[in-house]
């Protein structure tokens, strides 16, 4: 009932998206037999705006087909024997179905946006928002799958068709894909807006309810385990390595303060898991930064040691030069000596004389 | 030593909790104790799921085990019983993964009515085996471990780089001495050459 209430209040926004869905439907419908069901749908829109409206022409036609096959001259058609026209109409039917699903998901997304944009402090409906988010996520994945199937269908039936038809089907698939991408982007931005709002709400709650907490802390004894559990939870959420033994009694407690405690406790629980993940990511990030630093230092040290290497190189070259030069000198000397015969004879004569004198002396 | 003992998925209906599928790894216990321990674990998961609210994650300490429970928005619940050392965050990551896998394989209309025999889902056992090692389950743990190893390797590299620096200094000094000596050698050779001419 609450759902219908909200839908009637959102009538204007939904009518816009319904017209989008209608344009989708008209774009992808091929056969004229589909128009009468659409008119009846139009009438239904005027009366009740609810998402329970479904386009059942596809079911109707599948029933017709099954009746046809039950007749005596009806042979169950094989997939390969389908005429190109049949394949084409199936393709367009499928595309039309995807279009309507897309429009429905758009509506849900709009509802979610409206819910998330509310800035009141106490009218927040986190359960509904989370459910809706979950449903929209499921829808997006199923739509992706359906578009994938549609594309596969298109490649299957491309054997007998003309080029224009092929191009049309490619452009149809592309349009659907782009619309889906658009929607997922919107979804992402809505989630971010929701996160921001939640943060602000938490801040405001802390501001407004800090006095509330102090007044209810003496009554924690009377409230049973709830108040003291909240204290323990706050202490533990600030201590990241502690994991935790909280056994809460389920069940509703009357009074706004306790529901506030409850939501805060819920958010704290979620927060501790999420803050743990965030801390881990931060550790990883700082480790990576440290690693970068270490690499930088490595590079600096190698560059400094490069200088030493150059010095060694120059020293060694210098010594090589010197040794070469000295070698040349000695060679010159040697050549001078060996070519100087008279000098050699003179030197040897002197030697022999001295040798003879010494031998004569000692003998 | 990190170890997972059991994983189970349940459906938390508005009045009653219905177990959907579960798997146990009780190899570390005595053969005769296994049955009672399994019953005890089933009972604990039931109680804990009843006490947890939708959209909440909790960890309960029970003797020397930790039970991690996560109740999703669509009331599908996952419970893991692990020892004290298993990191909490990784347990919840595993629970989210298991719930998503289950939700994709078993249609959601079966959940409120499923019995353990009806539900055809056998993906829990390989997951339990695989995730005994927390690194498998969680990319962040893996990244952290690899980064730490890389850091250690880099520290070793820095050490060897410093040693290289010292050796280079040594080499500089020695090549300096070598060049001085070669210069002396050259001078002496030149002197010898000129002295020889003097003799002549």
**Alpha helical stretches, state H, A29-125:** 35-47, 57-70, 84-117
Out of B129-133, B163-167, B176-180, pick the least confident. Answer: B129-133
How sure is the predictor about A347, in pLDDT bands with cuts at 50, 70 and 90? confident
Q: How far apart are CA A28 and CA A38, in angstroms?
A: 13
Reported as a pLDDT band with limits 50, 70 and 90, residue B50 is confident
Is it the case that residue B30 has pLDDT exceeding 50? yes
pLDDT band at B94 (very low <50, low <70, confident <90, very high): confident
CA distances from A88 to A166, A169, A213 (A): 10, 9, 66
Per residue in A11-45, pLDDT (tens digit) is 455 555 555 555 555 555 544 444 555 556 666 66
Residue B81 to residue B68: CA distance in whole angstroms? 6
21-50 in chain B: CB under 8 A from chain A = 48, 50
Cβ distance B158 to A294 less than 8 Å, yes or no, reads: yes
For residue B60, the cross-strand partners are: B67
Do the chains contact at B66 and A243, CB–CB below 8 Å?
yes
pLDDT at A352 > cutoff 70? yes
Out of B51, B143, B189, the one facing A249 most closely (by C-beta) is B51
What pLDDT is stored for residue A263 in this prediction? 57
- Cβ of residue A311 closer than 8 Å to a chain B Cβ: yes
pLDDT tops 70 at residue A220: no
Q: What's the rounded mean pLDDT across residues A140-147?
A: 86
Q: Which of A245, A258, A274, A281 to mutate to test the interface with B (most CBs of B within 10 A)?
A: A245
Main-chain dihedrals φ then ψ at residue B149, nearest 5 degrees: -60, -45
The answer on pLDDT for B21 being more than 60 is yes
For residues A181 and B32, what is the distance between their CA atoms, to the nearest angstrom?
57
- Within the 64-123 window of chain A, which residues sit less than 8 Å (CB to CB) from chain B? none
User: What mean pLDDT value characterizes chain B?
Assistant: 83
The C-alpha of B96 sits at a distance from chain A's nearest C-alpha, in angstroms, of: 12
* Lowest-confidence pick of A98-102, A127-131, A147-151, A236-240: A236-240
Percent above pLDDT 70 for chain A: 62
Test B89 with A308 for CB contact under 8 angstroms: no
Q: Which of A266, A287, A336 sits opposite B55 (nearest CB)?
A: A266
Residue B16's pLDDT band (boundaries 50, 70, 90)? confident
Give pLDDT, residue A261: 55
B 100-159 residues with CB < 8 A to A: 140, 143-144, 147-148, 150-151, 154-155, 157-158
Query: B119 pairs with which residues across the strands?
Result: none
Q: Which residue has the higher pLDDT, A341 or A325?
A: A325
pLDDT confidence bin for A161, thresholds 50/70/90:
low
pLDDT at A310: 92
pLDDT-based confidence at residue A356 (cuts at 50, 70, 90): very high
CA dihedral A18, A21, A27, A32 (to 10 degrees): -70
CA of A230 to nearest chain B CA: how many angstroms apart?
Answer: 14
Q: B64 CB near a chain A CB, below 8 Å? A: no
Using the Cβ of B188 and the Cβ atoms of chain A, whether some distance falls under 8 Å is answered with yes
Residues of A within 8 A of B199 (CB-CB) are 343
Interatomic CA distance for residues B130 and B116, integer angstroms: 23
- Helix-helix angle A84-117:A11-28, to 10 degrees: 170
What would the mean pLDDT of A216-224 be, rounded to a whole number? 42
- pLDDT above 90 as % of chain A: 12
Residue of B nearest to A337 (CA): B196
Q: What is the pLDDT of residues A134-143, one digit of tens each?
A: 888 888 888 8
pLDDT digits (tens, 9 = 90+) for A44-79: 665 555 556 777 888 888 888 888 877 655 444 444
Summarised one tens digit per residue, pLDDT across range B147-158 is: 999 999 999 999
Of the candidates A91, A101, A88, A86, the one whose C-alpha atom is nearest the C-alpha of residue A151 is A91
Q: Which residues make Cβ contacts (< 8 Å) with residue A63, sequence separation at least 6?
A: none
Is the confidence at residue A3, as pLDDT, over 70? no
The reported pLDDT for the residue numbered A222 is: 43
User: How would you classify the pairing of strands B56-62 and B65-71?
Assistant: antiparallel
8 Å CB contact of A295 and B66: no
B16 touches chain A (CB under 8 A): no
Global pTM reads 0.45
| Interface probe, candidates A241, A292, A326, chain B, greatest B C-beta count within 10 A | A326
When CB atoms are compared, the residue of B164, B175, B189 closest to A326 is B189
Taking residues A91-104, report their average pLDDT.
Answer: 85
């Amino acid at each position: 009932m609450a759902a219908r209430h909200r839908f009637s209040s959102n009538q204007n926004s939904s009518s816009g998206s319904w017209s989008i869905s209608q344009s989708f439907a008209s774009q992808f419908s091929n056969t004229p037999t589909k128009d009468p069901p659409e008119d009846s749908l139009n009438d239904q829109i005027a009366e009740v705006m609810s998402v329970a409206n479904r386009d059942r022409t596809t079911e109707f036609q599948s029933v017709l087909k099954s009746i046809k096959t039950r007749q005596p001259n009806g042979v169950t058609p094989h997939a390969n024997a389908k005429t190109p026209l049949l394949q084409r109409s199936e393709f367009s039917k499928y595309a039309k179905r995807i279009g309507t699903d897309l429009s429905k998901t758009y509506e849900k997304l709009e509802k979610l946006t409206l819910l998330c944009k509310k800035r009141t402090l106490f009218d927040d409906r986190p359960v509904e928002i989370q459910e809706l988010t979950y449903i929209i996520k499921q829808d997006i994945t199923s739509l992706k799958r359906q578009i994938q199937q549609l594309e596969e269908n298109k490649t299957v039936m491309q054997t007998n068709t003309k080029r224009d038809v092929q191009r049309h089907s490619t452009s149809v698939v592309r349009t659907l894909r782009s619309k889906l991408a658009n929607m997922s982007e919107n979804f992402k931005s809505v989630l971010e807006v929701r996160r921001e709002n939640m943060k602000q709400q938490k801040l405001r709650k802390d501001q407004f309810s800090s006095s509330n907490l102090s007044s209810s802390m003496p009554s924690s004894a009377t409230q049973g385990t709830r108040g003291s559990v909240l204290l323990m939870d706050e202490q533990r959420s600030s201590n990241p390595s502690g994991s935790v033994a909280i056994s809460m009694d389920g069940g509703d407690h009357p009074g706004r303060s306790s529901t506030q405690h409850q939501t805060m406790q819920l958010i704290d629980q979620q927060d501790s898991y999420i803050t743990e993940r965030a801390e881990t990511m931060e550790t990883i990030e700082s480790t990576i930064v440290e690693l970068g630093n270490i690499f930088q230092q490595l590079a600096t040290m190698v560059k400094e040691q490069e200088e030493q290497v150059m010095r060694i190189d120059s020293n060694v070259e210098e010594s090589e030069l010197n040794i070469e030069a000295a070698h040349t000198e000695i060679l010159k000397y040697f050549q001078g000596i060996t070519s100087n015969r008279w000098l050699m004879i003179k030197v040897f004569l002197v030697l022999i004389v001295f040798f003879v004198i010494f031998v004569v002396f000692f003998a | 030593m990190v170890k997972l003992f059991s994983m189970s998925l349940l459906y938390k209906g508005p009045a009653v909790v219905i177990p959907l599928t579960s798997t146990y790894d009780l190899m570390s216990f005595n053969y005769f104790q296994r049955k009672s321990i399994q019953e005890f674990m089933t009972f604990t998961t039931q109680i804990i799921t009843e006490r947890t609210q939708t959209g909440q994650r909790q960890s309960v300490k029970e003797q020397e085990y930790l039970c991690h429970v996560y109740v999703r928005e669509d009331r599908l619940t996952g419970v893991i019983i692990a020892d004290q050392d298993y990191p909490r965050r990784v347990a919840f990551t595993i629970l989210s993964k298991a719930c998503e896998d289950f939700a994709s394989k078993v249609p959601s209309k079966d959940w409120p009515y499923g019995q353990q025999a009806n539900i055809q889902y056998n993906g829990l056992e390989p997951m339990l085996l695989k995730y005994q090692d927390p690194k498998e389950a969680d990319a962040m743990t893996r990244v952290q471990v690899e980064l730490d190893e890389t850091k250690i390797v880099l520290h070793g590299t820095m050490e060897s780089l410093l040693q290289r620096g010292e050796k280079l200094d040594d080499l500089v000094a020695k090549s300096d001495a070598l060049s001085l000596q070669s210069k002396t050698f050259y001078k002496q050779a030149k002197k010898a050459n000129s002295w020889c001419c003097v003799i002549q």
